[in-house]
Amino acid sequence: MLSHSPDHRTRTAERRRDAMRRRLVESAMLVFAAKGTETVVIDDVIMVAGVSRGTFYKYFPSTLDLMVAISQELANELMAQVERVVAPIPDPVERVALGLRLFIETARAFPLFAGFIRATGVQATGPAALIYNYLPDHLNEGIAKGRFLDLPLEIHLDLITGTVLLCVLRQLPVPTETAHVRQVVASMLRALGLPAPEARAIADLDPPPLHLPEDSLLVRTQRRLEAGSDDTCRRAR
């Protein structure tokens, strides 16, 4: 039997497509880390990825699509992470607090992530939008249980989003202390309506250590960043 089954062929091709897609997304992250969002993009990305221009366009119709792809990938990884931790927790307040902690912890552990947030800002497409998708249910539950003040959700959401954003930016160029993060989260909980002592107590509950899968975008990219910072930065200005 000389030829593989068409099915197998298809599957192989698909796997290769995925690998290349990842490679491009990673490379874009690396470029982001090396330079500000402004300045060159495509040239750097394909150079870091080691592929041709044509190949790039095979995978992404435009640079914007690449940005979107990164955002989604990051959002997915983060959601998985957060859900894993908070799902079993009965108290909606703790769920909110731990979710925010995890978001900020990710930015602390992965400057790459913080940099991307900074570059993206508060866009509907960026990972910051995650907050608007993830929190409402928990907030509503907290409100229903009388733990949070019964205000329009957007009040709570804007405060949280804005605060988290600033807190993430604070992680650059060097991360803050854990104490700082706890205090910020406590502040948000007070804003949501919790009494100061309770806010403090819950904000001090540490989430389990981050555990992103080995093949997650952030982990892979961080690794490449540490490994060959030479190659990456060579052309990067």
The 32-71 contact track toward its own copies, x by CB under 8 A, reads ------x---------------------------------
- Tell me the window of 40-48, 96-104, 146-154, 220-228 that interacts with DNA (CB under 7 A): 40-48
Please select the residue that binds DNA; options are 22, 37, 47, 58, rule is CB under 7 A: 58
Shortest Å distance, C-beta 204 to DNA = 45
- How many CA atoms does the CB half-sphere of 229 hold within 13 Å? 5
149 contact choice in its own copies, DNA, none (CB below 5 to 8 Å, kind-dependent) = its own copies
Shortest Å distance, C-beta 22 to DNA = 11
Instruction: Answer yes or no whether residue 22 interacts with DNA by CB under 7 A.
Output: no
Cα separations (Å) of 43 from 27, 53, 68? 11, 8, 18
Instruction: Answer yes or no whether residue 161 interacts with its own copies by CB under 8 A.
Output: yes
Instruction: Answer yes or no whether residue 20 interacts with DNA by CB under 7 A.
Output: yes
Q: Where are the alpha helices (DSSP H) in 110-216?
A: 111-120, 130-144, 153-169, 178-192, 196-203
Please select the residue that binds its own copies; options are 62, 196, 206, 227, rule is CB under 8 A: 196
- How many CA atoms does the CB half-sphere of 155 hold within 13 Å? 11
CA distance 52 to 126: 27
Cβ-based neighbour number of residue 180 at 10 Å? 15
144 contact choice in its own copies, DNA, none (CB below 5 to 8 Å, kind-dependent) = none
SS3 category, 177:
coil
Instruction: Answer yes or no whether residue 15 interacts with DNA by CB under 7 A.
Output: no
User: Sign of the C-alpha dihedral, residues 75, 78, 83, 89?
Assistant: negative
Q: Look up residue 25 and give its amino acid.
A: V
Instruction: Count interface residues toward DNA (CB under 7 A).
Output: 23
- Tell me the window of 49-57, 84-92, 105-113, 153-161 that interacts with its own copies (CB under 8 A): 153-161
Please select the residue that binds DNA; options are 11, 26, 31, 62, rule is CB under 7 A: 62
137-166 binders of DNA (CB under 7 A): none
Please select the residue that binds its own copies; options are 30, 78, 130, 165, rule is CB under 8 A: 165
With a CB cutoff of 8 Å and minimum separation 6, the contacts of 78 are 102, 103, 106, 127, 130
Of the chain, the end-to-end C-alpha distance in Å amounts to 53
Instruction: Answer yes or no whether residue 37 interacts with DNA by CB under 7 A.
Output: no
